[in-house]
Structures are given as C-alpha cells and as structure tokens.
A and B are shown apart, each in its own frame.
Chain A
Amino acid sequence: MGTQPNGKDAESVQAHVLELDPELPPPAVDDAVREAEERRWTPGKIALWMVVSLLGAVAWFMVALVRGETVNAIWFVFAAVCTYLIGYRFYSKVIERYLLKPDDRRATPAEYKADGKDYVRTDRNVLFGHHFAAIAGAGPLVGPIIAAQMGYLPGTIWIIIGVVLAGAVQDYLVMFFSMRRGGRSLGQMAREELGVVGGTAALVATLLIMIIIVAILALVVVNALGESPWGVFSVGMTIPIALFMGVYLRFLRPGKVMEVSIIGFVLLMAAIIGGGMVAGTEWGASFFHLDKTTIAWGIIVYGFIAAILPVWLLLAPRDYLSTFMKIGVIVMLAVAIIVVRPEITVPAFSEFAGRDNGPVFSGALFPFLFVTIACGALSGFHALISSGTTPKLVEKERQTRFIGYGGMLMESFVAIMALVAAISIDRGIYFAMNAPVALTGGTVETAAQWVNSLGLSGVNIAPSDLAQTAQNVGEPSIVSRSGGAPTLAVGLAHIMQQFIGGTAMMAFWYHFAIMFEALFILTAVDAGTRVARFMLQDSIGNFVPKFKEASWRPGAWLCTAVMVGAWGAVLLMGVTDPLGGINTLFPLFGIANQLLAAIALAVCMAIAAKRGSFKFLWIVGVPLAFAAVVTITASFHKIFSPVPAVGYFANNAAFAKALADGKTEFGTAKTVAAMEAVVRNTMVQGVLSVVFVVLSIIVIITAILATVKAFRDGGGHDHEDAPRPSRVFAPAGLFPTAAERELAAAWAKVPAAKRFERPGHH
C-alpha cells in the first residue's frame, strides 16, 4: 500500500482499498460484532477467569512464599498454566488490538501467493503444532536445568513472566510483521527497516550467533555421550535408521510419512534397548566407550557430511523422527508430572543465588540467570523461524496471536517441566553431575566429598548414592556429566519410573531422554549448518556472484566447510577446556541467543514506529530494554569483570601471568598445555563477546534512530505487501466464537469453485 502516514486511519485506508467480492460472505467477522462479543462478560466467563486467577494466585503463593520442607511440583504446573492463560487472554489481546491491528479482510501470503508448496493455507491448530515443533528443541530442556543452581524460584519467575512479557511478544510480532511482508526473513526485514549499516550488522551478528548456538548445542550432546557406550550406540544408530527412512520415502513408498515415522520410532526404541545389551557386553562396552574429544570430532565430521548430503537422505527423515518424538515426549512428560506430582526439596533460593562463583555456571543472578535461561523465556532464535516459514502458511491474520504468542507459551511450559524434572532429583546428585571434573575429581568418592564440602543445607551425599544412581540409569558414572541433558535424563527417569516400570525401567527412560535430546540437537546442528552456509554463500555472492548459485558444488562445499570449521573449533575448545566447557561457554550461548532477541525486537520496534503506533510502543520497548540491559551487562561482565571466574580477559590475564611466572599448574589447569589452552580459549571467548555486543549495539542504535525519525515524521515508509482482499474465512483461536461459527457456516454453503480467484496462469 506504499506509505501509510498515520496509524490512526489505517483501518479506513484499508477498508477503502480492499474491494471485497460482493458475491461472497465477508472474509472477517464484522468489527462491531467482534468487539461486542469480546467485551460482553457473561457470568460464566467472569466465573471462569476468577477461578483461573485464584488458582494461579494460590499456586504462586505455594511456589514463591510458603517455606515448608517441600513443595509439590503440581503447583509449578498451575502457576505456569494460569499465568499463561491470563497473559494470552488479556495481554496478547492488548497487543493485537492496539499495536498490530490484524485485519482478516486482508488475504495472507498463503492465500495471495498460494502455490500448493511453500505458500499453503494451513489449519490453525495444525500450524500451531507445526510451528511449535519448529521452535522447541533441546534449548528449553537444558537452560532451566543449568539455572537450577540458583534454586528453583528465580528460574521459575523468569520463565513464566519472561515469556508473557517478552518471549511470546517477540515471536508474535516477528511472525505478524513477516506475514505482512509475504514471509520475509528477519535479515531481509532488518535490511529494509534499518538500512545498510543496521542490516549488515544484523546479518553478521545472526551468522556468528548461529555458529555459537550450534557449537554449544553440539557440546551438550558430546557431554551426554562421553564415556557412555549405551548412549553412543543408541544415538549412533539414529543415523542408519534415518538413512533407511530416507530411502524408504524416496524409492519404496513416497509420501507415506506417518508410516515411515512409526517404523522409525519402533527402530529407535529397539536401538535404545539394543544399546543396553551392547553396552552390557565386554566388546560393546570397550568399542563404544569413547572420550569426549573423539565424539566431538565424530560430530564435526558428521555435521559436514550431513550438511552436504541431499535433504531427502538424512535431514528430512530425521526431522520427521524428531517431530514425532517431540510431541510424544512432551505429552508424556506432562502426563507423568501431573500423575506422579513429585515433591520438590530444593530450596527456592540456593546458597549460590547470592554469589557469582557457582560450579554449574559462573556469574551473579543478575544478569546471568536471564541469559542462562534463554529458550523458554525469550529466545532470539525463534525470530528466524517465526519469520520465513510459518508466516507463509498462516490462513488468517488474526491467527498469528494463537500460533505466535500461544506457540511460545507452549515452549515455556516445556521449560517449566524440564525445571521440575531437574529439581525433583537430590541436590547433592545435581551438583555432582553438573560441576566440572576439575572440581569433582571424577570419581564418586571425590565428588561426594566435594559436594559435602560445599556446605549446602540438607545435602549429605554418600559415594554409594552416586554409584547407585549411575547403576540405576545404566551408566558407568554420573559424576561431572554436565551440560544439562544427563541431569534432565536422570530427572525424567526418576519421574517416569514411578509412573511406568519402576527402578528396572530407569535405565531405559534415561537413555530414552538422552536419545530424544540428541535427536533434537543433531537436527538443529544439521539444519543450522545448512542455513548458515546459505547465508555465507549469499554474503560472499555479493562480491563473487558465482557463490549465489546454490547448485554450484565447490562453493557450497567450501562454505559448509567454513561453517563446520567455525562451530567445530568452538566445540573442541569447549570439550578440551580445563575449566569445564559448559561452565564457561553456556553463558555465551545465552548471551548470543538473547542478543538475537534484542535485534529482532529492535527491528519490530522500528516497524511499529513506522506504522505510527507510538502510544503502544512500550509493548516492544519494555522487552527490548530488558533484553538489551541483560545482554549488554552480561557481556560487560564477561569482558571487563576483574573476577577470573567471570571475566574472560581477567582469566586470560591470570593464566598468562602464571605462565610468565613459570608456573606449571594454575587453578584447575594441571599442566602447562592446559594453561595455554585456557589462555587461548578465554581470548577467543572474550573477542567473540566483544564482537557480539558491538554488533548488537549497532543494530539497537540504528533501530532507535529509525524509531525517533518515525516519531518526528509521525510515521514512516511501510514495507508491507499491498493489501489484497481475502476470499476465505477461518476462526482466529482454538475455540471459534459464536459469530465465527455463524460466518463459517455461511462460508460452508459457498461452492468451492467460487471461493478462489482463478489467476489463470499456466
């Protein structure tokens, strides 16, 4: 529609431009009818929301204020669900009504660009599931577990409040703005809205952030599989299983996705059970007993091959498997938590909440808790999914609230369940599992001694407890299995065995959990490498046009090698880090992810300002300010802190000085080579922190400048696609309203041939 000088008369402009087909029923519920319906409060509705509010208040009271010996896990579920319902019903409605103003009379890209392939109108409930499967992975299962070092309450509050005010807002806005732009990606929107400088900074930042995220996800897998023959075998088997599925779908029975997924699932279960048998034999235990460095190299080689193989052979079938597992696992976890209702003995705030030298991750509660839990509260990576793929499938504009905002609430719920699973295990075991070997010493005796020396209230662990837990889950040891995934697996096994199978089944449930986390992560690694490779090819293509040709093999292979080399280097650095890779690298993962969120929100703020919605700009401004403050503060801590455990350069200087003084061991580094590794690693991590924060600050500043300019001019140039009249109707939310049902009935009477414009092409 070109320029739209003032947001206030946007509606009238659209009504004027959109010429609806008079032969068809209206494609949207009449505004006045919808308004009246939304504002009518029947006694039933009032009672329902009073119950939700009361239950939520009681649950929060139980979780946050009552200081008994234990608190039941069910209160976490109620506090979360009631808060989500209230946030969805009231806050997302405010965003819809005052900031985004969707118009169902406008056709979505799925309608006006329909091609039967990428742009396909998709039922809202199906798309909700599809979008959720695309955004949720291992992230929300890992961050909350690592953050549990501070106690359960800080993490719980951030996950639940953060998603309502920040994470879900970001996903919703990005999805809506991308939909209005024909499904453009975040990078393209940044370029359009922020100009060359801001756009380029956003692109480079995105690329670097993807590298870091892929590297640290891979690190989580390495830590989960290191010295675990059972895990190595069963996760390794996913590769031949996926290859088989790929061949099956390509040549034997094309299109039978459900069939092959079920076959794949059965094979996967067999791989888990078989892994136990193989690990039980002597040759199996020695053959699949790999150290972390070997596994890291394995993943690097695998990552390269997977990213250059055709999609149908490996990525697509594993994606089906991963989606299948994702939905199954999450439903299972929810049912188990509700049925078992474990008692939580972990304190609300642990001894480490007020310190910055915790063994699981270092740094003070503010800002590091807020970056440690990224996925589940506010995840910038979602902006890459919410722009692009999903907006091309949305049927009606109003559905973006349900899919974008609602989908993220769902992911937050997954994070809460992961947190519950992690805190349902004994605190002594938690710390023994999550502290680096440098602290625990690696054996059950030294680990138990170290945990008991921490002086944690109520923690007194015997070496036999650790050995027993390891035996129950079928692992040689659980000491220093950091990274979050093994802890979640123990927690899940602990809950599930009370639900199905008892102690005898714990080993199965443990490896089931490891398996699905590895599956999610390997899919993310593969897809992330591909996406990053294309971004790199595209960027180089600006200088050497040949690189833009996706089918040019040497270019594709070279760029893949560069990307795999980049994340592989970070991965190896993390695996060999004498300080314990997760401990130092996980904050960088969170910072990277949140900086991406800040970039996405900054772009959204500029767009909202250009639409002239200044009065409600705080909806974007508040989460943007929070994300910016948290990430920039965290980055500054990492860069400037004089405390070696926190600051990369402080640590670098301390180790460099020790080396210069001729010391042969320093802190947790026991050899000169280890000390040199620390010097190298801290320098790389420090430089990365500086680059991230500088790029993000550039993006945020350009966004603020664009916003101020729009404010002065009373709006700005709008890059939306021209509005087209819609010729379809579908309800907006999960449950259709009375007016929506009535209109849907009217549409059902329209003969199918009349519903679509016949573009007459081909």
Chain B
Amino acid sequence: MARPEAVAAPLLRGLRGVAAYFRGVMGADAYRKYLEHHEACGHSTAPMNERQFWRERMDRQDTEPQGRCC
C-alpha cells in the first residue's frame, strides 16, 4: 500500500482538473480569459471589473441570441 498522501496528491490534482474542465465547459472562466486577452493586447484602458463584465456579456446576448439544439 502506498502512503495516503502519495495517493491523495494525484487524486486531488485529478479532481481539480475535472473541476477546471467543467468550469471551462460551462463558461465560468470567461472573465479570467477576458482579463488575459486584455493584458495580452496591451490596452491602455483599465479592464471592466467582474460585475461589469458579466453584466455586459449577458446584455450582449439579448441582441445576439445563440441557438440551442434539439
């Protein structure tokens, strides 16, 4: 039998990976990606804060609906 921590560490990493994947699929990491993009592009203006970003993102969908399939 391996020591418990030797098993726990990879298991925890695996679970974190699953959670991160789920977050990605659900689009929960959209704000982080927006910040990365903002950073990478070297905009001079400050990025939107999290609340503004989500508000703007939802409101934009009002005018650009995306279909969901049957």
Identify the A interface with B (CB < 8 A): 114-118, 120, 122-123, 125-126, 129-130, 133-139, 213, 217, 249-250, 254-258, 261, 310-312, 315-316, 319-320, 322-324, 327, 375, 379, 381-382, 384-385, 388-389, 521, 523-524, 527-528, 530-531, 533-534, 550-551, 593, 752, 755-756, 758-762
Q: Known contacts A120-B33, A527-B67: does B24 contact A129 (CB below 8 Å)?
A: yes
A753 CB, min distance to chain B CBs, angstroms: 8
A623 CB, min distance to chain B CBs, angstroms: 18
A213 to B67, CA, bound (A): 12
- Scoring B22, B57, B67 by chain A CB atoms within 10 A of each residue's CB, the highest score goes to B67
Q: Known contacts A756-B40, A759-B41: does B27 contact A130 (CB below 8 Å)?
A: yes
A531 to B58, CA, bound (A): 16
Task: List 22 A–B pairs whose Cβ atoms lie within 8 Å, in order of A's numbering.
Answer: A115-B37, A117-B30, A117-B60, A118-B64, A125-B21, A126-B25, A133-B25, A213-B70, A254-B53, A254-B54, A255-B31, A312-B58, A323-B25, A521-B70, A524-B70, A527-B66, A531-B65, A550-B63, A551-B63, A756-B40, A762-B41, A762-B43
Q: Is the CB of B70 within 8 A of A126?
A: no
Q: Is the CB of B25 within 8 A of A379?
A: no
What is the chain B residue whose CB lies nearest that of A217? B70
B13 CB, min distance to chain A CBs, angstroms: 16
Report which of A217, A316, A385 forms a contact with B67, defined as CB distance below 8 A.
A385
B59 CB, min distance to chain A CBs, angstroms: 7
A551 to B26, CA, bound (A): 27
The reply to whether the CB of B3 lies closer than 8 angstroms to some CB of chain A is: no
Q: Known contacts A217-B70, A316-B58, A389-B66: does B25 contact A114 (CB below 8 Å)?
A: no
What is the chain A residue whose CB lies nearest that of B70? A139
Report which of A116, A213, A250 forms a contact with B34, defined as CB distance below 8 A.
A116
Q: Is the CB of B25 within 8 A of A593?
A: no
A244 CB, min distance to chain B CBs, angstroms: 16
Q: Is the CB of B69 within 8 A of A758?
A: no
Q: Is the CB of A130 within 8 A of B24?
A: yes
B22 CB, min distance to chain A CBs, angstroms: 7
The reply to whether the CB of B16 lies closer than 8 angstroms to some CB of chain A is: no
Q: Is the CB of B53 within 8 A of A527?
A: no
Q: Is the CB of B24 within 8 A of A122?
A: yes
Q: Is the CB of B45 within 8 A of A116?
A: no
Q: Is the CB of A312 within 8 A of B59?
A: yes
A218 to B50, CA, bound (A): 36
A183 CB, min distance to chain B CBs, angstroms: 12
Report which of A213, A320, A521 forms a contact with B26, defined as CB distance below 8 A.
A320
A137 to B65, CA, bound (A): 17
Q: Known contacts A116-B37, A311-B62, A759-B41: does B26 contact A323 (CB below 8 Å)?
A: yes
Residue numbers in A under 8 Å from B51 (CB-CB): 254-255
What is the chain A residue whose CB lies nearest that of B39? A752
A736 CB, min distance to chain B CBs, angstroms: 16
Q: Is the CB of B42 within 8 A of A593?
A: no
Given contacts A116-B33, A123-B24, A129-B25, 19 further A-B contacts (CB under 8 A): A116-B41, A120-B33, A130-B27, A250-B55, A255-B30, A255-B53, A257-B27, A258-B23, A310-B58, A310-B62, A312-B59, A322-B68, A524-B68, A527-B65, A528-B67, A550-B62, A756-B41, A759-B41, A761-B41
The reply to whether the CB of B11 lies closer than 8 angstroms to some CB of chain A is: no
What is the chain B residue whose CB lies nearest that of A214? B70
The reply to whether the CB of B28 lies closer than 8 angstroms to some CB of chain A is: yes
What is the chain A residue whose CB lies nearest that of B22? A258
Residue numbers in B under 8 Å from A138 (CB-CB): 70
A388 CB, min distance to chain B CBs, angstroms: 7
Q: Is the CB of B26 within 8 A of A261?
A: yes
Enumerate the 4 nearest inter-chain pairs by beta-carbon distance, A residue then B residue, closest first.
A116-B37, A126-B24, A257-B28, A139-B70
A530 to B62, CA, bound (A): 9
A134 to B66, CA, bound (A): 9
A134 to B26, CA, bound (A): 11
Q: Known contacts A527-B65, A550-B63: does B26 contact A255 (CB below 8 Å)?
A: no
Residue numbers in B under 8 Å from A255 (CB-CB): 28, 30-31, 50-51, 53-54
Q: Is the CB of A381 within 8 A of B70?
A: yes
Residue numbers in B under 8 Å from A523 (CB-CB): 68
Residue numbers in B under 8 Å from A117 (CB-CB): 30, 34, 57, 60
Q: Is the CB of A524 within 8 A of B69?
A: yes
Residue numbers in A under 8 Å from B43 (CB-CB): 761-762
Residue numbers in A under 8 Å from B35 (CB-CB): 116
Report which of A129, A139, A389 forms a contact with B21, defined as CB distance below 8 A.
A129
Residue numbers in B under 8 Å from A250 (CB-CB): 54-55, 58
Residue numbers in B under 8 Å from A521 (CB-CB): 70
Residue numbers in A under 8 Å from B40 (CB-CB): 752, 755-756
A23 to B4, CA, bound (A): 47
A123 CB, min distance to chain B CBs, angstroms: 6
Residue numbers in B under 8 Å from A129 (CB-CB): 21, 24-25
Q: Is the CB of A116 within 8 A of B65?
A: no
Q: Is the CB of A136 within 8 A of B69?
A: yes
A394 to B40, CA, bound (A): 18
A551 to B62, CA, bound (A): 9
A460 to B56, CA, bound (A): 61
Residue numbers in A under 8 Å from B64 (CB-CB): 118
Residue numbers in A under 8 Å from B58 (CB-CB): 250, 310-312, 316
What is the chain A residue whose CB lies nearest that of B49? A254
A122 to B19, CA, bound (A): 16
A261 to B23, CA, bound (A): 10
Q: Is the CB of B54 within 8 A of A382?
A: no
Q: Is the CB of A114 within 8 A of B55?
A: no
Report which of B25, B38, B68 forms a contact with A116, defined as CB distance below 8 A.
B38
Q: Is the CB of A385 within 8 A of B54?
A: no
Q: Is the CB of A114 within 8 A of B69?
A: no
Residue numbers in B under 8 Å from A382 (CB-CB): 69
A405 to B38, CA, bound (A): 32
What is the chain A residue whose CB lies nearest that of B61? A311
B51 CB, min distance to chain A CBs, angstroms: 4
Residue numbers in B under 8 Å from A388 (CB-CB): 66-67
Residue numbers in A under 8 Å from B61 (CB-CB): 311-312, 315-316
Q: Is the CB of A257 within 8 A of B23?
A: yes
A258 CB, min distance to chain B CBs, angstroms: 5
Residue numbers in A under 8 Å from B36 (CB-CB): 116
